[in-house]
């Protein structure tokens, strides 16, 4: 919106959904007109109906450019109350007032009036976002030429995109080159199917929209979504080009079987399932020790998987791999016997028919239990010792070949760990003595395994690759946004994202490719991706006030900020997810959005009417994360669950966006307590912006220090984490907090 254009504000109050029966609408209108100085205030009995919308539209046509809609939750009727060329703020009178409090009650009325004050305060200081438009290249880079990479490349071209496919090997195909047959992917799901790699490679080679580089590796990637500048090395040559988005499909590698000595690995006749694939492809299954045909093959399932000492997770495909290999071994030699020693057989969906097909073979034996050890006997034969959990007895299985079903490990790098290692190395190279040097040496020793593991070679401040979870898979919000990573515009597909079979890899690649295309479309319009999908705001930095503290560049969950040589932040607009964590981190308050800033929220906090100490009506401030906590409170309202009428809630983008100045302002204003509620943190985090709740936990010390400065009790500020489904728990937290503040007493800073 043009800054010179005068704001013309209109407030519309809906009387439907019991709002008109529970509240004194005339009293609210008086607050709007007399106190908030809004000349235009209207009411309607059914505002989201055609007539109500037409009346609002008429106001907009007559020059209204800022609307405050006091009705239902902003999560309802969002499209209905969106008008071109007009900023709209929503005041939640339905779920957060009349459906969760006593009707025609003084405190309920005061609550509604305060929410109008808050909404108007925001509306008066907010304009329609003006997107930052960047030139966007629509080419997609696919890193990895296996099943996932080839699928991603072909799917992208079907949508009209050009593709650059980079593969480190001399031939496309990945693991498909090693397999003789695959699991069935069509009815009746009973027999292994042939691999058709040649036609897939031919399809790629004949596609004019795909450029393939074999024997190639990434040397450097800089820039941002829509403007990634890529340098690769291919057969000794350096090649530079620009792409808009990236799909990483670098695949997997087998778990290191040398760590499985207790299962006999190291003995000549103990092999892995990957080695077994090579035997099957050759058409012979001969014992490595004497080259004689293997007649009794024991398959040890979960070899190093579902094991806290090795891979704690299930690799999803090992059971089906063993079933396939047992069938093919029997097909090659009808005299072969196969023994499947398993904890659990996992064959989801239609693959249960595949399992049933193996069970029908009288020479494939299944024994449930825990394998204890594998011992070599005379003549290089093997004894598998196991605890049969069905009969609760130790048994032995004789075999002349043991196949360990080892799990999948992603071929990925942990960008954050690599950056920590590099920073520590830089400290050591300075040669300075002291505690910092000792800490650097400890870091180098701890993270030395990450040296040289770079794949994408990003020039990001936070590291050269995507951040990874503790098992090596790229970090993301797996519950809500499984394809998103913590690097906007870069998407993981296939086994680098999660263990998958070939068919699942194909589907995974399709999803990642669609996300890449979506990202480019949004970037071309100046909008961001999930979770604030279509948000066109961008943070503005008053860099002349920056103190180079690095908090914003280090705390951004998405690596959207780089640094210059003085450590001044360098924004990359299309990397940004608009979470506001940089705003919460900044001690100088130099970061703001045009619809969300320290100033705007500060004025919203200050806008409410705080009763003096003689009225004995406490006032509590609630800062609710818009992703889980705010929807949970909406659900509580829908369920008609009652919560304290003394608390005023303000939605925030993320708990990590809370700036300490809001706490100080609220307490100075006379609020008696502050409740902040965000998404769950931890290993199984649910924070939509990854680290917001975690960061608020670490910033708690600053809040406690501020309370000490004001000579106030620590109990006045409380931080909680909930999931979106815990609406009942949220109501309990609110009411418990209100009772706690009642015990602590009123804020002595009240007027």
Q: Model confidence over 37-63: pLDDT tens digits?
A: 999 999 999 999 999 999 999 999 999
Q: What is the mean pLDDT of residues 4-24?
A: 94
CATH topology assigned to domain 540-592: Alpha-Beta Plaits (3.30.70)
Per-residue pLDDT of 242-287, as tens digits, reads 999 999 999 999 999 999 999 999 999 999 999 999 999 999 999 9
CATH of domain 597-751: 3.40.50
How many angstroms separate the CA atoms of 165 and 241, rounded?
12
Number of H helices, E strands in the chain: 19, 31
Q: What is the mean pLDDT of residues 207-226?
A: 98
At residue 711 the predicted structure's pLDDT band, cuts being 50, 70 and 90, is confident
At residue 462 the predicted structure's pLDDT band, cuts being 50, 70 and 90, is very high
Half-sphere exposure of 222 (CA within 13 A, CB side): 6
Query: Which residue shows structure tokens 């994202």?
Result: 497
The residues of the chain that CATH labels 3.30.70.20 are 540-592
Half-sphere exposure of 173 (CA within 13 A, CB side): 15
The residues of the chain that CATH labels 3.50.50.60 are 140-251+453-524, 254-409
Q: What is the mean pLDDT of residues 341-362?
A: 96
Q: How far is CA 91 from the centre of its chain?
A: 29
Q: Which residues of 151-189 are buried (b: 16+ CB within 10 A; e: fewer)?
A: bbbbbbbeeebbbbbbbbeeebbbbbeebbbbbbeeeeb
- Decide if pLDDT at 1 tops 60: no
Q: What is the mean pLDDT of residues 113-120?
A: 98
Q: What is the mean pLDDT of residues 337-350?
A: 96
Query: Which residue shows structure tokens 């048994």?
Result: 395
Q: What is the mean pLDDT of residues 383-408?
A: 95
- Decide if pLDDT at 14 tops 70: yes
106 C-beta neighbours (distance < 10 Å), count: 11
| Most trustworthy range by pLDDT among 406-415, 471-480, 706-715 | 406-415
Dig out the tokens for 288 from the structure: 């490595």
Q: What is the mean pLDDT of residues 496-515?
A: 95
- In the prediction, which pLDDT does 751 show? 65
- Decide if pLDDT at 418 tops 90: yes
CATH architecture of 254-409: 3-Layer(bba) Sandwich (3.50)
At residue 4 the predicted structure's pLDDT band, cuts being 50, 70 and 90, is low
Q: What is the mean pLDDT of residues 701-719?
A: 87
pTM exceeding 0.95 = no
- In the prediction, which pLDDT does 612 show? 84
Q: Using the 8-state DSSP alphabet, how is residue 19 labeled?
A: H
How many angstroms separate the CA atoms of 462 and 560, rounded?
9
At residue 659 the predicted structure's pLDDT band, cuts being 50, 70 and 90, is very high
- In the prediction, which pLDDT does 322 show? 98
Residue 28's nearest CA partner among 84, 108, 112 is 112
- In the prediction, which pLDDT does 672 show? 96
Angstrom distances, CA of residue 242 to CA of 162, 178, 270, 424? 11, 33, 48, 32
CATH of domain 140-251+453-524: 3.50.50.60
The residues of the chain that CATH labels 3.40.50 are 1-128, 597-751
- Decide if pLDDT at 506 tops 90: yes
Computed from CA positions of residues 660, 666, 668, 672, in that sequence, does the dihedral angle turn out positive or negative?
Answer: negative
CATH of domain 1-128: 3.40.50
Per-residue pLDDT of 558-607, as tens digits, reads 999 999 999 999 999 999 999 999 999 999 999 999 999 999 999 999 99
- Decide if pLDDT at 114 tops 80: yes
- In the prediction, which pLDDT does 697 show? 83
Residue 301's nearest CA partner among 366, 397, 390, 381 is 366
How many angstroms separate the CA atoms of 435 and 437, rounded?
5
* φ and ψ at residue 188, rounded to 5 degrees: -90, 15
- In the prediction, which pLDDT does 615 show? 80
Task: Please report which helix (H) or strand (E) contains residue 232, including its range.
Answer: strand 227-234
3 C-beta neighbours (distance < 10 Å), count: 5
How many angstroms separate the CA atoms of 215 and 40, rounded?
68
- In the prediction, which pLDDT does 2 show? 47
3-state DSSP: the chain helix, strand, coil percent, rounded to 5?
A: 35, 25, 40
At residue 130 the predicted structure's pLDDT band, cuts being 50, 70 and 90, is confident
Per-residue pLDDT of 514-560, as tens digits, reads 999 999 999 999 999 989 999 999 999 999 999 999 999 999 999 99
């Amino acid at each position: 919106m043009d800054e010179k254009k005068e704001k013309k504000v209109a407030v519309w109050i809906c009387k439907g959904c019991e709002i008109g029966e529970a509240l004194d609408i005339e009293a609210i209108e008086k607050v709007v007109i007399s106190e908030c100085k809004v000349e235009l205030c209207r009411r309607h009995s059914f505002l989201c109906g055609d007539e109500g919308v037409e009346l609002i539209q008429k106001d907009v046509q007559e020059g209204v450019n800022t609307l405050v809609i006091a009705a239902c939750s902003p999560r309802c009727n969002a499209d209905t109350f969106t008008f071109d060329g007009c900023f709209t703020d929503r005041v939640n009178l339905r779920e957060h007032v009349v459906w969760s409090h006593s009707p025609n009650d003084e405190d309920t009325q005061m609550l509604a009036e305060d929410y109008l004050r808050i909404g108007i305060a925001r509306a008066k200081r907010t304009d329609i976002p003006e997107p930052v438009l960047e030139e966007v290249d629509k080419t997609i880079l696919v890193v990895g030429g296996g099943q996932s990479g080839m699928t991603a490349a072909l799917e992208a071209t079907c949508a009209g995109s050009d593709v650059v496919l980079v593969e480190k090997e001399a031939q496309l195909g990945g693991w498909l080159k090693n397999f003789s047959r695959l699991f069935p992917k069509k009815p009746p799901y009973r027999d292994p199917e042939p691999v058709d790699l040649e036609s897939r490679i031919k399809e790629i080679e004949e596609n004019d929209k795909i450029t393939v580089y074999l024997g190639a590796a990434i040397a450097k990637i800089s820039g941002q979504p829509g403007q990634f500048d890529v340098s690769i090395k291919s057969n000794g040559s350096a090649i530079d080009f620009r792409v808009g988005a990236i799909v990483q499909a670098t695949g997997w590698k087998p778990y290191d079987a040398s760590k499985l000595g207790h299962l006999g690995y190291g003995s000549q006749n103990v092999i892995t399932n990957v080695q077994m694939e090579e035997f099957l492809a050759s058409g012979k299954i001969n014992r490595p020790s004497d080259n004689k045909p293997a007649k009794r093959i024991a398959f040890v399932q979960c070899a190093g998987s579902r094991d806290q000492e090795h891979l704690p997770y299930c690799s999803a495909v090992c059971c089906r791999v063993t079933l396939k290999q047992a069938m093919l071994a029997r097909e090659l030699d009808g005299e072969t016997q196969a023994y499947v020693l398993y904890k659990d057989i996992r064959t989801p969906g239609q693959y249960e028919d595949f399992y049933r097909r193996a069970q029908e073979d009288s020479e494939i034996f299944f024994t449930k239990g825990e394998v204890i050890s594998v011992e070599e006997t005379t003549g290089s034969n093997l004894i598998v010792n196991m605890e049969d959990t069905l009969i609760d007895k130790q048994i032995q299985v004789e075999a002349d070949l043991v196949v360990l079903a080892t799990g999948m490990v992603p071929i990925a790098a942990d960008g954050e760990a690599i950056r920590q290692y590099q920073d520590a190395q830089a400290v050591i190279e300075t040669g300075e003595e002291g505690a910092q040097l000792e800490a650097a040496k400890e870091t180098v020793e701890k993270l030395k395994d990450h040296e040289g593991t770079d794949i994408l070679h990003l020039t990001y401040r936070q590291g050269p690759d995507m951040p990874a979870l503790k098992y090596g898979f790229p970090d993301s919000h797996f519950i809500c946004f499984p394809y998103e990573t913590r690097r906007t515009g870069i998407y993981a597909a296939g086994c680098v994202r999660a263990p998958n079979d070939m068919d699942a890899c194909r589907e995974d690649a399709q999803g990642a490719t669609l996300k890449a295309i979506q990202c480019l479309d949004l970037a071309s319009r100046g909008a961001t991706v999930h979770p604030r999908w279509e948000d066109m705001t961008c943070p503005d930095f008053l860099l002349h006030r920056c103190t180079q503290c690095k908090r914003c560049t280090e705390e951004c969950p998405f690596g959207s900020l780089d640094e210059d040589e003085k450590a001044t932040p360098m924004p990359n607009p299309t990397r940004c997810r608009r979470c506001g964590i940089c705003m919460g981190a900044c001690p100088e308050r130099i970061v703001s959005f045009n619809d969300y800033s320290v100033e705007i929220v500060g004025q919203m906090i200050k806008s409410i009417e705080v009763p003096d100490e003689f009225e004995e009506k406490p006032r509590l401030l609630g800062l609710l994360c818009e992703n889980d906590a705010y929807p949970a409170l909406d659900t509580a309202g829908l369920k008609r669950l009652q919560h304290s009428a003394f608390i005023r809630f303000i939605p925030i983008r993320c708990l990590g966006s809370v700036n300490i100045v809001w706490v100080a302002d609220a307490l100075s204003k006379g609020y008696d307590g502050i409740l902040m509620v965000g998404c769950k943190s931890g290993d199984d985090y649910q924070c939509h912006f990854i680290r917001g709740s975690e960061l608020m936990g670490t910033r708690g010390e600053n809040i406690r220090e501020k309370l000490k400065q004001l000579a106030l009790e620590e109990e006045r500020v409380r931080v909680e984490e909930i999931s979106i489904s815990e609406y009942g728990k949220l109501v309990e937290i609110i009411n418990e907090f209100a009772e706690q503040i009642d015990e602590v007493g009123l804020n002595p800073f009240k007027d």
